[in-house]
Structure 1
Amino acid sequence: MISRATHFASERATCIDHILCNDMSDIYSSCIFRAKISHHLPVCINLNLNIGNIERTGSAKPRVKVNEYLLNKFIADLRDIEKAISPVKSAQESFTDFITEFKISYDKWFVEPNNLSSRKFNNLRKDWITIGLAKSCESRRVLYETWQTNRSNHNWNIYVKYSRKLDALIDKAKYDYFCQKINENKDDLKKTWRLINNILGRKRQNKLLTFPEEDAAHNFNKYFVNVASDLVASSYPNDVDDDSFKNFLGQFDFDNENSLTDVVFKETDLMFFISKLSNSKGTYFAPKILKQVSYDLSSVLCKLFNKCVSEGYFPTELKVAKVIPLYKNKGDINDISNYRPISMLSVFSKIFEKLLHKTLTDHLESHNILNDSQYGFRKKRSTLHALINAMENVCQSVDSKQHTLGIFVDFSKAFDVLNHSILLRKLSHYGIRGKILELLTSYLTERQQYVSYGGIESTILTTSTGVPQGSVLGPLLFIIFINDIVNISKMASFVLFADDLNLFVAHTCRATVYSLANSILKELYNYCISNKLIINFSKCCFIEFGFKACKDFFHLGILNNRFLKVERYKFLGIVINSTLNWNDQIDQVITQVSKSCGTLYRIRLHVPRKILRNIYMALIQPYLIYCIPLWGSSLSSEKMNKLFVLQKKCVRIVAGKTAKENGIFKHTKPIFRSLNILTVFNLYTYFTATEAMKVISTQSPCLLFNFFQPSVRSNRLLLPKFNYESLKKKSFVYNGSKIINYLINHDIPFFGLISLPVFKIRLKRHLLTIQGRSRSGDDAWLQCNHDIFSDIRL
């Protein structure tokens, strides 16, 4: 379609940009723009796509206006709504009346008449391009066309000189613009990051299916609703004994006094949870408005929620979810199985669920029901704790010359296939009964959802299995459901993080350890059949830790499904391998930091140094500190030194011109100090010490606290004994105990004598001082001394 020159050099012109088409019937015209956008002239084509208009049925989030007068009017309506609550009506009728009246009042006072947000089009002119700069850009275009007409060296030199000066002015205008905007929004983190993404050119890309959106919304909803039930039906026979799951339940004796049967909510609890709502996660009602009327709103909701508890009924309006499909960025875009459902629930549902979550959690913790091996969705527990537990068990087993297997089991759609009947009976077994159990039964049954896609809303369908996606109660109900999985065997160490199941089996005989592991997997399969969970065999694998190279005479698996033996595995975001070194993990961190370093370099000229440091802390620091108490123990390895060099490069970018003196890079020690940034070696020291302090002072998680051994003769910790020096250096407990003892030996209070925030501040200040005067960053943790707390004012 293009037959003229699109690329011009100083001495020649070529036609190297083309548009190819195999159907000329719908093509109107083609053309070339004479614009200096790039080295190649833009080409375009005008054609008829024959796309009809699609009626959009989706409702956009309303645009609201808020002021003190409107809030007072709305509060007056809330008080009238509270007075109208009838004790005669059922909980469902009362809540329906409340939602109706609440929405009428909300729309009346807050929603603007033209409440649908208008579609935003991309503004071609950047905000920092002034009228003067725009005229200069036009002058540059004229100079470029002059050179194209008469391609002489004189015209080219004039154009290049003018273009360079203009580019410098545009960069200066862009820098001043973003500095001003960032200063204006310095207290609004969301707007600040929106500006940063604007600088980086990051835009959301909405990938759409090629078939009509109306059909897509319906197909998505049908798939999301039926995928779990179809998976269960095709995996297990229908003649499974409904009571077989009881074989794995532990012994819990609850009488009427110990059981959780009823609860009365308080207005103060509702006000607290309303104040914690996220302003960006409301579906229709803006959380920021609910927060401003929380006193009166909590009074109304408290009566309604207590009425729901007394009747054991969860309102129907709170059981409807709006689902938005999100492409996983892998696989065929037209395959709906490559989309992830993102559910949005009513803000009132989230408040009610948070109250129930607190009630259930208090009961579970007071009776010590949840097993210590579960680290997911629990307070004071994290992925780091799960990894420490796993690696300490492996290190101790290998050090004892035991053959150790790490088995990693993956479940297919574990949250979606959860059986309601079994869950409710397990809740009763754990002492959750009476009206609370009736309420949870109502909460799980007859839930509905619809899909919103491309502005089109599907019909509403009912779900029959699984916990609600995007809910507050869902994760807690799941870990209750899977709580008894550790009862399948006492010969394995379990580490769970929600639905991630990891087993570790050790024995002095290699044949025996494989035999034990296969018998445990057989029991796991029986457990899954009884509880109607589905193992995804294609993603299950195992690692032999510390084994010498030998032929594989042994195998792991369930029935005819063999588990894949691997040398390395990504375990909760950390790469572990069979040799128990951290080279693979450090390589992963280096790759992640390198990418972020490029982003930092691109943005360096457009934001002030202070903001650049904040971007460093958001883009670079998280990769350096995630689980560093484990992989950071490789202090003297070449990989860690390579990572340290990369960190120094990032720090020099943040420092900008101050990183150089007479055109030569200065030493980074004063730069780290001035930016208040720790080296990767001292980050290891800092987070190892603080994590050890948290575990010991709170005695939680219990399994980790039991690894530490306090001395009976002093307030120090006994160092765990290891036969192999290499394993000792990799142990978090050994390194954490050694650092703590060093602090205690220098009269530094530790056990309950100093708060954690004060400890963190003083430790960081001391490490900054040490790394500023030591020859290298990695020896700072060995130089801790008694001045860590001296002469420091907080």
Structure 2
Amino acid sequence: MEEVLSKFSKTSKSIIVCGDFNINLLEPSANCTSLKNLFQSFNLFNVFWEPTRITSTTATCLDNIFTDVTITSKLIINNLQSDHSGQLIKVNTRLDNVRPKKVTIIPVTGSRLERFRNNLVNTIPFLHCGETANFHYNLVFNSFCEEFDRIFTPVTVTVNNKHSFNDWATMGIHKSRKRLYDLYYEKHYNNSEEFKIYVKRYSKLFKIVCHEAKTRFIADKIKNSNNKVKATWSVINNETGRSNCRYTSICLNINNRVINSEIEIANEFDKYFSEIPIVTTKYLNASPKAAYDMLKLHVPVSSTDLKFKYVTGSDIIKIFKLINLKNTKDLWGHSTNIVKYILDIIAPELAIIFNECIDEGVFPDLMKYSKVIPLFKSGSSFDPANFRPISVLPVFSKIFEKLLLQ
């Protein structure tokens, strides 16, 4: 079985293994553990935890289905002529003729950015003395968010699922492919040796033309990209079938219960990621006092005072140039690519707030929220332990942290 799974795992195809494995998964045993570990090492997870063979004296789970695809529904069929129950599963498939998919996006256009910039000039509030840094940041940030949500409204667009062939194939190649299909069909009844040679040559020439067209398309894609390393890896992942390593549709198995709800999945990830430090350090003899004593013992006391200098709006604009510009959106949908267009407008207010934070020794509450994305690593995609968290920090917190670092 391991040899067969090794061959299948080298492909980019999804795998479904089903049958009577003659090992009861409901009864803890060495064979049961070995079977599950074998399949899970290839990212295959058993679907059923209920009895699939019922006799007058036993109820065992011998028949099962192991797969690495997302299960949308499952059913055990009883009352068959055999004492083995039937198993029925429904999975998501990607077909060429599926209906166009609708997705919600927030278009960032030049006209929207211009409106956003013009409106912010009139809506950024005046910061009065006597208030805290946290109050001032909430005031400015909420005003920023209200205007952002008013301008950058989401729209629903239709995305057509197409072959990658359509990305690089010219109209001539499309016509040649249709001609080649016709020739292949004609081979069923045309046994002429001359015709077979013609089809063989036509097919060989078609492959050469496709190879050159695809090579030219990929070279242009990398050449015209702002990030050539990222574009190169994107091409490699697409061509090797690893482009779907980031799971957009996650399904978890918690205590033998399959979870599909987005809210439940988010709560389970939140619980798992927040408990990792506690579980990891539970059996360590650690405490704040022990850490402090260790520091006193091994680290000499510094005689240099640490002082922060006040910043100006110009400092904020200057430090922002050191931050990578990306379209990655934080918890509120803001990205560095959007903030760069309006930074000069709110930089004076941010400078006042950042200086107040330095004086008060505080970090604004709204800067402490980040968007956590679970990124799949390897193993079973049903286990939260096989995901690692990626935090997308608020844009303004990146600026503040960069200033403090400098």
Shorter chain as denominator, the TM-score bin is 0.5 to 0.7
Secondary structure (helix, strand or coil) at the match of 1:96 reads helix
Structure with bigger gyration radius: 1
For residue 342 of structure 1, the aligned residue among 380, 390, 393 is 390
Q: CA deviation at 1:269?
A: 2.1
2: CA distance, partners of 1:198 / 1:81: 45
**Misfit runs of 4+, over 6 Å:** 18-23, 237-240
Provide TM-score, normalisation by structure 2: 0.63
Q: CA deviation at 1:103?
A: 1.4
Q: Deviations over 1:165-213 (max 9, x none)?
A: 2223323433444455556x26663785377448845523235445324
Which 10-residue stretch deviates more, 331-340 or 349-358? 331-340
Matches within 5 A, 1:59-78: 62-67=106-111, 70-71=112-113, 73-78=115-120
2: CA distance, partners of 1:253 / 1:102: 41
1: CA distance, partners of 2:396 / 2:360: 18
Which 10-residue stretch deviates more, 285-294 or 230-239? 230-239
Give 5+ residue unaligned stretches, structure 1: 1-17, 27-46, 52-58, 359-794
Provide TM-score, normalisation by structure 1: 0.34
Q: CA deviation at 1:324?
A: 1.3
Query: Over aligned residue pairs, what C-alpha RMSD do you find?
Result: 3.7
- Structure 2 residue aligned with 1:271: 317
Tell whether the 8 Å contact from 1:62 to 1:117 is kept in structure 2 after alignment. no
Matches within 5 A, 1:45-124: 49=90, 62-67=106-111, 70-71=112-113, 73-109=115-151, 111-114=152-155, 121-123=161-163
2: CA distance, partners of 1:83 / 1:112: 23
Tell whether the 8 Å contact from 1:146 to 1:155 is kept in structure 2 after alignment. no
1: CA distance, partners of 2:292 / 2:199: 84
Over 3 Å counting, the alpha-carbon distance change for 1:250 and 1:140 in structure 2 is closer
Q: CA deviation at 1:65?
A: 1.3
Matches within 5 A, 1:53-452: 62-67=106-111, 70-71=112-113, 73-109=115-151, 111-114=152-155, 121-123=161-163, 125-149=165-189, 153-178=193-218, 181=221, 185=224, 189=228, 193=232, 196-197=235-236, 200-201=239-240, 203-207=243-247, 208-210=250-252, 211-214=258-261, 215-236=264-285, 244-252=293-301, 254=303, 258-260=304-306, 263-280=309-326, 281-283=328-330, 284-329=333-378, 331-358=379-406
2: CA distance, partners of 1:239 / 1:319: 23
2: CA distance, partners of 1:224 / 1:250: 31
Q: Deviations over 1:662-710 (max 9, x none)?
A: xxxxxxxxxxxxxxxxxxxxxxxxxxxxxxxxxxxxxxxxxxxxxxxxx
1: CA distance, partners of 2:296 / 2:230: 54
Tell whether the 8 Å contact from 2:104 to 2:154 is kept in structure 1 after alignment. no
Tell whether the 8 Å contact from 2:106 to 2:154 is kept in structure 1 after alignment. no
Secondary structure (helix, strand or coil) at the match of 2:187 reads helix
- Higher RCO structure (Cα 8 Å, ≥6 apart): 2
Q: CA deviation at 1:130?
A: 2.8
Secondary structure (helix, strand or coil) at the match of 1:265 reads coil
Q: CA deviation at 1:92?
A: 1.9
Q: Deviations over 1:324-362 (max 9, x none)?
A: 122222x4443322321111110111111111222xxxx
